A and B are shown apart, each in its own frame.
Chain A
Amino acid sequence: MNTLAWWLIRAQFRTRRVATSLSMLAIALGVALGYAIHLINAAALADFSRAMNSVQGEPDAVIVGRDSAGSVPLTVVEAIARDPAVQSVVPVIDTRVRLAGAPAPLRLIGLDVFSAATMMPKLMPRQDATATDAPIFAGGVFASPAVLRQLNAAIGDTVTLQRGDRQWTTRLAGDLPALGPDERLLVADIAWVQAHFGPDDAVGEARVRLTPDTDPAAWRDELARRLPPGLLLRAADDENARVSNLSLAYRVNLNVLALVALLTGAFLVFATQLTAVAQRSTQFALLGVLGLSPRRRLLQVLLEGLAIGVPGALLGLALGYALALAFTRLLGGDLGGGFFSTGTTTLVPAPLPALGFLALGALASLAGAVYPAYLNRRQALAHALHAGFAQTPRARPARPLVPALRLLALALLAGGLSRLPAWSGLPLAGYAAIAVLLVIGIAAAPWLTRWIFGLCAGLPLPATQRIALQNVAQAPLMAQVAAGGLIVSFALTASMVIMVGSFRVAVDRWLDDVLPAPLYLRSKATPLPEDLLAALARPDTPFARVEGMAHATLTLDPRRPNVTLIVRELDRLDPAARLPFTGPLSVPPDETLPVVWISEPLREIYGIAPGQTLRLPLLGGSVEVFVGGVWRDYSRQFGAVTIGADDYRRLGGRFQANDLALWPRPGQNAAAETWLAPYARRDGLEVAETAEIRQLSLAIFDKSFAVTYALEAAAMLIGLFGLAVTLAAGVWLRARELATLGALGFNRRMLGRAVTLEGALIAIIGLLIGLACGVAIGAVLTHVVNPQAFHWRMPLHIPWPTVLGAAALTLAAAIAASHAAARQATRLPLAQVLAGSQ
């Protein structure tokens, strides 16, 4: 770097320590948030994929039932095994069982140990060293180290596995040494699993490895054409895409928020560099006169931007790693999003993403310095040398029509963008609309400032107030810089408050609709025990009414996350008694046609409309069903289909409830819970009152937005920093003018008051515009981003007390920042400033 450039950068850092440090910190914060989110997501996805791979191995293809209740007939497996292109086929049964002592159901994988050895080596069991025969063939079960630890069990112990009303008592014959410390599963020979839990003559899935000279894609295409409709052929890539799609929108949303923090940081760099250029305009003009070329004057400001951005970004990387560690400890690997349930997440910082975030921070800072650098290049040297940086007041007020038309055009653009559909499942046009709305806010600031305060100029005001008004009205660029950060940060904060508020109110109302019973019983993943269901059917129980519900999964698109199938006991003629429908119900043309009611996300993702018929992969086949309506669902982001238990039975399905909704007889709530307690204890069932579920749901909701609140707070702080920096620099820039006022009779108190009032006026304009933009952005987030990214729709609800409270708090902070600048004004050595010795 050139010596002079280095001297000037060093001087800038020495003389504007607070402003440059704050800008650096703002960039660091933006980079830190983005990098932390990246690290956490990368680690969570890697853990999830690793867990998937250790169980699934690396097959060329997997054949599964489209319906989780479905299975792959052994005849199909045998036919595939006979194919000369197939090297090996591993049949697998993957089910869930309950084990005494385990708090939640465990995964039990049944496999053929010989064929699985090459494809799924991580699942290979290690038998008890003292065993004389091969215990896997004798019906032994092998547990992962995590299960052994959790059960406090030893190899050789006897365990009882339970699935619904079927039991299997066997011996822990060994462990699964290749599995990770958090992987909780059991492995047994497939024949024994089939014998105890079914299905007969079928397996859950078949994993295929092809001969090396076979083209996997062509083979899969060919096989897919021959497979029965209830079966699905998956490639390993599909699984990765599915895992990635699972949290894609959530990740993108958080990254956009982090990017916003980074952009607010760039804005602070802009404010700092613009005021730095204005403050040093005489110095830059002198350097220009002495021979510093316009290009180097431009480069100097850009270099100063980089000198803020690069250390800021480096600091951000370190801070990001620390934040990621803290977040994973506090919120888990999915930042409270609820997508992954891996145990401890290990952060692995890779050099390439770190370099990417470093570049992003440097670029943001550089972007913030571009306009000040351009202004510096354009300064008229002779004028700036004598008069410094001055924004010349307009000789006559600008015609308001032109900027108004410009703003209207931008508003139309934002409106148009918000109507565009999602791109690759992401609301990119929605985000662009938000960016345009922020541009409108910032562009409107100088125009509104000039217009509003120009109108006020005619009012009979005392000298202090008049001076403050005139200063704000006649220096709209500085007002724009000062208000800009506040506009952006408050607009984003208000919009997030509005979006989260709308969502919370909607979830609250939705919980009322979906939790009609006072008491609920859940068995997590396995069917409820038959003896409990039989006992509940007796007339002497404390329950007036019991409704069952079973959950399974369907694969409609192998590259998308599975859809939930809900089979529940409800009245086909009156489903609205149990489901919160979003629109009118459609009646099937034929009474024999099964009816399903789809959730709102399913309609959004797959474009299915009520009144149409579609084919669903149910019970190992393809079944034609009628879509009777769309119901609101905020708990299953990737869609759900509800079918009545009667229709399901008619289709040949066996309805085995996982969950029960229970209505105790009047006055028997306590008795009902006492009645359920022994079953809950014995079978590890969850009993919860509606109020508890409601409280828990809202707590999960609040937790999932914790990161959003943190980002909002960061953006707000950065905006306030921006205002403070600009106001302080404004006082320095106008030192001569303030000194002249002092000479003309303004005492220090009056000067202080005028500066405080200016700050307050700018903050009020910033907050008003920020509020308007915030409401508009809140509407875009609620009506465009949310449905497109998460497939959830909700009415707009503006929590005015919170929004206005935040505005009042921000105004108070802004006035405090102005007061600090005012104190600086009152400390100016007026005589020296007037003498202008340098």
Chain B
Amino acid sequence: MIRFDGFGKRYGRQRAVSRVDLAVRRGEVVALLGPNGSGKSTCLKAAAGLVRPTDGSVEVGEPLRSAALPEARRGVSFLPQKVAFPEALSGREVVEFYRRLRGAAPGRTEAALGMAALEGAADRPVGTYSGGMVQRLGLAVVALADAPILLLDEPTSSLDRAGLAAAHALADRGRSEGRAVLFSTHQLADVERLADRVAVLVDGALVGDLDRAELADRLARRGVLRLRVARAPATLAAALARIAPGAALHDDEIVVIGPAAVRAAALEAVRASGAELRGLSSEEGRLDLLYDELVGAAERAGPEVRA
């Protein structure tokens, strides 16, 4: 339903995205993950027909057609990163306008407003909306078209609880109704809650395409254990180095990066050493670390990929 085929985009001499190959099939929810400026928005905009590829192609729909074609976009609903609306229009007018533009049934307006929990504010001008309400109105517009392809650029940022629920409902329903959903996010929680697959973009290059279990494993492998200790014996460093080669010991802080088993062993070693444990935190996964790892892997696989 969505296919990036060697997609690349340059803005002048600046390369935003290079050679992305990615396909999203019907019934699939794919998260685009990556640091700021990694090209997530550019990919989504290309699929929405807003950005013209400088290399390769971006096609949508069934059959696949260039996203630049208005007809191809009949099956696409796109939520921009910072969606905005003319402030003088009411929420209902906005939804009504887009409903007519998409040729959706008249009843869809109320349904979409309801889904976005905006029934109460529907007749107020958008100018009086909070940031979260504007974002929800965006979700309402995206929902009303009933498009088989959903492109959501950071749909959960700046959302309140109601919005979050709406966003999640949208993605879930998309999956169950056989739509193709591609969304970008910074938040692991979104990925875990919503995505079937994760495509990782770093510096405009696709460095990983993982399913949800793989991602969880990868993240678990890159878990971080942080300990604050007092009276650590001199032998502790050597003990830790045996268990976790990358472990670092500075003054009273110990940082251990690795799979859960390694971290558990490290913790055990600290306890056994008789050091006094003053603080403990453990994270299951750090995205930045994962990015680094994936980038490293990509570079090892072949430098031309990121050239």
Q: Do A and B bind each other?
A: no
